Amino acid sequence: MNEPTTLPESGELEVSIFGPGFGECIVAHVGEGDWIIVDSCLGPDGQTPAGLDYLKRIGVDVSTSVKRVVATHWHKDHVRGLAQTVVECSSAKFICSQALWSNEFVALTDLWKKRGLPSSPLDELSRVIDTLAGAPGAIKGSNAEFPIGFAGPNRCLWRRRSAGDSTDNNSAELHSLSPSDAAIKKSLEMIASLFPAGELLKKPIPPRPNQFSVVLWLRVGSVRLLLGADMEEKNNPFGGWKVIVESAERPDGKASLFKIPHHGSETGEYGPIWTEMLIREPWALLTPFNSGRVKLPREDDAQRIVGKAKNSFITAGFDDRSSRGKTGTINRTIHETVRYIKKANDSFGHVRARRKISPESSGWVVSKFGDAKSLTELCAKKKV
Amino acid sequence: MSDLKPEFEDVSIVLVGSFNPAIFHPVWFAREKLIQQEEADRANIKIVSHDVTVFSIGWLTVEVTLDRFVARTTQIQNLEPLRDLVLGTFGLLRHTPIKQMGINRIAHFQILSEEVWHQLGHRLAPKEPWAGLLEKPGMRRIQMQGIRADNYKGSISVAVEPSLTTKPFGAYIEVNDHFDNDAEEKGNQCDRMMEILAESWQTCLERSFRIMQTLVK
Amino acid sequence: MMKLSDEAVSELSNLETAALSSGRQIVRENSRVASEAEAANLTGSRWECRRFLSNPAGAHVVKVPEGNVSPSYSHTMDIKRLRAEPADKPAVVWVPVIPPSREGFDVLQRFEGIVLSVQGDSFIARLIDKTNASPEEEAEIPLAEIMPGDRELVEPGAVFYWVIGYRREEHGQVSRSSMIRFQRLPSWSPAEVERAKKAAETFLSFLDLERANHPA
């Protein structure tokens, strides 16, 4: 796989999105050597956090240069490798929904830890909680910077001021546009439902909908980006895209780059996003979701997105997965038992979008690495 | 050198404490969904009484007396279910006082020749100190005990004997991974012991396997 | 532990001597408090005999098997001697011995699986390779492959163990085997949940979480 090796320039904005079939991570250079990481997934080796690995390979000192690590929600495909990321980005503030620091959620992680069972999404978050609770500044009475920040509606999560006015190329801000207070309350109810009584233990599968996701608005100079996480629109008054778009307090301006929400699904689509929050023909980035019988984006989803943003890119396709061989005692036995078996994440790709921060810049320059492709290419491949 | 496969293997979890054997009927286990209903229906019940309970369900044997609970399996493909059964049982009976726990593994290995068999005995129990004291001294059983290198209280014991079931030459090895309860409060004894079981299970199995392979090779 | 009377200790000593000469072994319990060394062995595979107040006539008697002392099992005593004792004298009851089986299983591959979805007569699961730490896989498994007693457990989030290997039967037959068994761990009791919540509350009270509302 051809790999990127160059650092962005100080005055260059970068958004890199990583995705195997199951997982998503975004890293963003917001100028002057400052980086932000959003979510986490594992790279092709199945062990190393993809975003962290990329930053280290291009020479970023993650312990000082990463300013914020954001967990948009706690679905497994967005948190694998998060604990290691938090540990290594030791001067970054960790941003998440307040619900993850509730009695209920902390109790849930503790109960799972006591069972001593591996491979739970709570495992990752449990380690994040332990790491942050032990950080200087975490305890009451400490003067050091507090290591945790709660995302909320139209809340500023990070700011880099400059000597000039707010549209100076050196200034930058990261805002969360969600979750709403009502969504936080709902998410606490949802967490409470993960304490089943009188039944056998099952691995917790966070239920949908994804109204509890943290949607991010990033401004660097006059360039704006909308990172949609897994936010959906389901006509719920307490959360969703409608609440975000219609909020009078959200930051102004229109984004030129859009991280498509919820892997391009129909439920992540909400028309007014495109008219109210995005420029005409923005660049669009997304990751696929390929697990079990669920494959996103579907063909019509991809067509819809390409219809609104011809410069759309996806980190991986669907049909790149290989199955086991059929020889050998183990493989023969497996094939005799199952209807199919495939590697869960056989493809992996990275889409990197860069542009100069200055207003005169023409636009984004996109590079594709690994199995990444344009969405147009994916649509064409599906038709063949 | 590839690992030697034992002719016969047995893994058990032994708890020392205070138990009520009458509770541990297969029906109870099935009602709590700790075993399948079908398994409970077909259980081979030797005895269930206030003093002792012994039953087996194919892959599992349970023996309980007033001060000991033993769950064992000879089916190595069912090691996780064995652990789960004990975790599940004492997750429900969490007020049971448990003082000690043993995670035990025994195995009988075929030894290829008499010469190798004698070499094993001689390696573990050299004959020279016995010269002049016994005629034709031979190792009947050797038991060694070591301290724990982890953070738990307890010890690890290993015993080796000639196997009397594996013919013509075999070695019997027994590993006892012993834990003393280090719970700070008496009321937390059961929870703490189950925590130790969950945390150390995999390590104990890997250690006993490594010990056995090192001794017989 | 029950204490043995001096009479019983003496009786057992006699039996032990008799047993040794017959090639049998008896592990006996001593009336004194177990030493540290013995205490360590208490969780070991060897058992010490236990004395029960039981009807001796109802005692099971099983022949001592050939071979090494089977772990955790005590051995029989002479049934005649047992029945010769007066009925009101506490008897020593021995736990029945289950002789070691010649069956075995050579494990080639272990998976831990998590059910993702169930549809019709099959389910889709994510598989974690516990033998080689290879990348995760997904498979569709027919419900027919699941033991009837476990089928009620097949639902999203359920965990199962899948072991593949060679089974060795009692009479020597070797056959390839694939076995799936679902995990059975009870969920938490309301009391456990309450305790965890209280512990979480205490833990969080040390953190200055109010400052998290001003992340910039």
Three-class HEC string of chain A: CCCCCCCCCCCEEEEEEEEECCCCEEEEECCCCCEEEECECECCCCCCEHHHHHHHHCCCCHHHHEEEEECCCCCHHHECCHHHHHHHCCCCEEEEEHHHHCHHHHHHHHHHHHHCCCCCHHHHHHHHHHHHHCCCCCECCCCCCCCEEEECCCEEEEEECCCCCCCCCCCEEEEECCCCHHHHHHHHHHHHCCCCCCCECCCCCCCCCCCCCCCEEEEECCEEEEECCCCCCCCECCECHHHHHCCCCCCCCCEEEEECHHHHCHHHCCHHHHHHHEEEEEEEEECCEEECCEEECCHHHHHHHHHHCCCEEECCCCCCCCCCCCCCHHHHHHHHHCCEEEECCCCEEEEEEEEECCCCCCCCEEEEEECCEEHHHHHHHHHC
pLDDT at C35: 42
Tell me: pLDDT of A367 over 90: yes
pLDDT in tens, B15-49: 999 999 999 999 999 999 999 999 999 999 999 99
Q: Is residue C190 assigned to a domain?
A: no
Answer yes or no: is C148 within a domain.
Answer: yes
Flag whether C108 is in a domain: yes
Which residues of A lie closer than 8 Å to B, measured between beta carbons? 114-117, 200
Residue B28 or A46, more confident: B28
Q: Which of A108, A148, A340 sits opposite C212 (nearest CB)?
A: A148
Pair (C58, C124) in one structural domain: no
How far apart are the C-alpha atoms of A140 and C130, rounded to whole Å?
Answer: 42
What is residue A166's predicted lDDT score, i.e. its pLDDT?
A: 53
Residues on chain C touching A344 (C-beta within 8 angstroms): 126, 135-138
- The predicted pLDDT at position C79 comes to 35
Judge whether C97 and C62 are in contact, CB under 8 Å. Answer: yes
C161 and C126 in a common domain: yes
Q: Give whole-number Cα distances, B207 to A9, A93, A100, B148, in Å.
A: 52, 41, 37, 12
Asked if residue C211 is part of any domain, the answer here is no
Could you read off the pLDDT of B124-177 as tens digits, one per residue? 999 899 989 999 888 889 999 999 999 899 999 999 998 888 878 889 999 999
Choose among C134, C150, C182, C167: nearest CA to B80: C182
Smallest CA-to-CA distance from B68 within C50, C157, C16, A24 is with C50
Q: Which residue has the higher pLDDT, A261 or A185?
A: A261
Classify C133 in phi/psi space as left (phi over 0), alpha (psi -120 to 50) or beta.
left
* CA-closest candidate to residue C2, choices C48, C71, C65: C48
Lowest-confidence pick of A70-84, A263-277, B79-93: A70-84
The answer to whether A13 and A45 are in contact (CB under 8 A) is no
CB contact under 8 A, B33 and A117: no
| C29 and C80 together in one domain | yes
Residues C14 and C77 in one domain: yes
C79 or A94, which is more confident? A94
Three-state SS at C38: helix
Q: In this structure, is residue C146 part of a structural domain? A: yes
C126 and C176 fall within a common domain: yes
Alpha carbon distances (Å) from C5 to A235, C16, C55, C89: 79, 16, 18, 11
Does C207 reside within a domain? no
Residue of A nearest to C165 (CA): A330
Mean pLDDT in residue range B190-202: 91
User: How many angstroms separate the CA of residue B84 from the nearest CA in chain C?
Assistant: 6
Task: Report how far residue A342's alpha carbon sits from residue A355's, in angstroms, rounded to the nearest whole number.
Answer: 38
C123 and C71 housed in the same domain: no
Interface contact A114-B201, CB threshold 8 A: no
pLDDT at A61: 97
Q: Mean pLDDT score of chain A, rounded to an integer?
A: 87
Interface contact A155-C215, CB threshold 8 A: yes
Q: pLDDT confidence of A205, banded at 50, 70, 90?
A: low
* Among A118-122, A185-189, A191-195, B100-104, the range of highest mean pLDDT: B100-104
Tokens of A294: 């669920």
**Could you tell me the CA-to-CA distances from B184 to A78, A175, B151, B178 in Å, in that order?**
38, 47, 15, 19
Task: Look at A175-189, B50-64, C150-164 and tell me which has the smallest mean pLDDT.
Answer: A175-189
User: CA–CA separation, B85 vs B70, rounded Å?
Assistant: 11
Residue C111 lies in a domain: yes
Residue C189 located in a structural domain: no
| Residue C140 lies in domain | 104-182
Both C11 and C48 in one domain: the answer is yes
Give the residue with greater pLDDT, A309 vs C83: A309
pLDDT for res C22: 33
Number of domains within chain C: 2
Give me the pLDDT at residue C134, please.
83
Q: Which amino acid type is present at position B207? A: R
Q: Tokens standing for B27?
A: 């029906």
Q: Are residues C109 and C68 in the same domain?
A: no
Which residue matches tokens 């037959």?
A: C173
Domain ranges of chain B: 8-14+74-216, 20-66
Report pLDDT for A185: 86
Q: Touching check for A336 and chain C: CB below 8 Å?
A: yes
Question: Taking 70 as the threshold, does the pLDDT of residue B103 lie above it?
Answer: yes
**Residue predicted with more confidence, A108 or C41:** A108
Q: Are residues C53 and C113 in the same domain?
A: no
The pLDDT of A98-112, averaged and rounded, is: 87
Distance from CA of B41 to the nearest CA of C (A): 11
Identify the residue whose tokens are 């704006």. Answer: A224
pLDDT surpasses 50 at A142 = yes
Q: Which of B47, B72, B77 sits opposite C107 (nearest CB)?
A: B77
Beta-sheet pairing, A365-370 with A172-176 = unpaired
Interchain contact A144–C (C-beta under 8 A): no
Q: Do A293 and C117 touch (CB under 8 A)?
A: yes
What phi and psi, each to the nearest 5 degrees, are found at residue B193?
-65, -35
More confident: C40 or B82: B82
Mean pLDDT of A10-16: 93
What's the gap in Å between the CA of A280 and the closest CA on chain C? 31
Q: Which residues of C touch A94 (CB under 8 A)?
A: none
Q: Who wins on pLDDT, A36 or A78?
A: A36
Contact assignment for A116 to B195 by CB distance below 8 Å: yes
Are B157 and C163 within 8 A, CB to CB? Answer: no
When comparing pLDDT for A45 and B106, which is higher? Answer: B106
Q: What is the mean pLDDT of residues A162-191?
A: 82
| Cα–Cα distance for residue pair A54/A60, rounded to 1 Å | 9
| Chain A contact for C153 (CB, 8 A cutoff) | yes
Q: Do the Cβ atoms of C208 and A141 come within 8 Å?
A: yes
Q: Which residues of chain C have pLDDT under 70?
A: 1-102
Which residue intervals of chain C are DSSP H helices? 6-21, 36-41, 79-84, 190-205
* ipTM entry: 0.89
Domains in chain A, CATH or no CATH each:
12-195+204-383 (3.60.15)
Query: Which of C1, C42, C45 is the best mutation test for B, with the most CBs of B within 10 A?
Result: C45
